[in-house]
Amino acid sequence: MVTITHPGRVIYADLGVTKQDVADYYQAVMKAFLPGVAARPVSVLRCPEGAAGDCFFQKHMMKGLHHVRGAKLTERGGDSAIYLCLDDAEAVLELVQFGTVEFHPWGALASDPDRADLMVFDLDPASDVKWPRVAAAARLVRKLLGQVGLQSFLRTTGGKGLHVVVPLRPACTWTPVKDFAHALADALARGWPDEFIAQASKSQREGLIFVDYLRNARGATSVASYSLRARKGAPVAMPVRWDELGKLKGGDAFDIHTAVQRLKRQRRDPWEGFDRIEQGIEGIDTSPLST
């Protein structure tokens, strides 16, 4: 059992959502949430003074955690460190007790950190890009992936954009994954220069959607499906079916309340099949991308 101290502490002042409400939220979505974070190194965004206060990312284990498993991993410099890794509901709630609002897993398992088992295309629209263009951009990413034989899945981020997620089975070493993601982002920017930009430089992004392929590297993270976001309105990152995209109003279409309602009504996992698909990028013919 994890005890939530200061249960009445307000985390989302705009909604009056408390720390206990955050714990109850994760408890309510746990069955759907856990498979996306379990057994992976996870960075958490902690907001001890609430979502509008100072929040900070944490990736390493700390004193006082008894349910969270530490995973020893090698870091860039060659030293090793103990990363946060969750296996069960208690670990999730323990991190909420420590002020966690958001959960951001790696695209790899802690037991196999050098190989990606998923790829994420993070579509980041500049502030002047209207939503229908973001939706169309996601459809185009899906189409291009389909042209090289890859199935993909869609997630609202709870923020401005969308994530297009590609499962890789068997898992694949990071270098070819990174190269493929870069190639796809370049193909988008070259083929649709009025819509996409593949360079991270902020200055040239006006009016464009940045395809952030850099999520696809060892140690990089993406927000977990069903994670809350520490932003106004308590939005949630939500996996959706491709045929729902047309009626979505934005990346923040779901929140702490509607996410729970949706899950209750939901008969089928919107990402049905995600865990069974066998597909990879090794030996893939990328020539459809360069035309």
Q: Where along the sequence are the contacts to Mn ion (CB under 5 A)?
A: 122, 124, 161
Which one, 126 or 260, has the nearer CB to Mn ion? 126
Q: What is the CA radius of gyration of the chain?
A: 19
Distance separating alpha carbons of residues 220 and 104, to the nearest angstrom: 9
Which one, 55 or 148, has the nearer CB to ligand ATP? 55
Of the chain, the end-to-end C-alpha distance in Å amounts to 57
The span of 13-21, 83-91, 178-186, 215-223 binding ligand ATP (CB under 6 A) equals 215-223
Handedness of CA 202, 141, 227, 240 (dihedral sign): positive
* Identity at 217, one-letter amino acid code: A
Give residues with Cβ within 8 angstroms of 206, minimum separation 6. 126, 128
Asked whether position 251 contacts ligand ATP by CB under 6 A, the answer is yes
Asked whether position 159 contacts ligand ATP by CB under 6 A, the answer is yes
- Strand 80-85 to 69-74 pairing: antiparallel
Asked whether position 235 contacts ligand ATP by CB under 6 A, the answer is no
Asked whether position 97 contacts ligand ATP by CB under 6 A, the answer is no
Binds 43: which of Mn ion, ligand ATP, none (CB < 5-8 Å by kind) = ligand ATP
Which one, 56 or 193, has the nearer CB to ligand ATP? 56
Q: By CB under 6 A, name the one of 21, 24, 94, 124 that touches ligand ATP.
A: 124
Q: Could you give the angle at which helices 131-147 and 174-191 cross, rounded to 10 degrees?
A: 120
Binds 104: which of ligand ATP, Mn ion, none (CB < 5-8 Å by kind) = ligand ATP
Asked whether position 57 contacts ligand ATP by CB under 6 A, the answer is yes
Q: What is the CA angle 114-281-239, rounded to 5? A: 80
Smallest distance, ligand ATP to C-beta of residue 220, A: 7
Smallest distance, Mn ion to C-beta of residue 250, A: 13
Asked whether position 161 contacts ligand ATP by CB under 6 A, the answer is yes
Q: How far is CA 201 from the centre of its chain?
A: 22
Which one, 84 or 183, has the nearer CB to ligand ATP? 84
Smallest distance, ligand ATP to C-beta of residue 267, A: 27
Output the six-digit token pair for 288: 């459809």
Smallest distance, ligand ATP to C-beta of residue 47, A: 13
- Tell which residue, 252, 219, 265, 264, has the closest CA to residue 41: 219
Bridge partners for 44 per DSSP = 58, 103
User: Which strands form 56-58's sheet, in the order they lie side by side?
Assistant: 56-58, 42-46, 100-105
Q: Could you give the angle at which helices 89-97 and 19-37 cross, rounded to 10 degrees?
A: 140
Binds 221: which of ligand ATP, Mn ion, none (CB < 5-8 Å by kind) = ligand ATP
The span of 106-114, 155-163, 197-205, 253-261 binding ligand ATP (CB under 6 A) equals 155-163
Residues that bind ligand ATP (CB under 6 A): 43, 57, 104, 122, 124, 157, 159-161, 212, 215, 221-223, 251
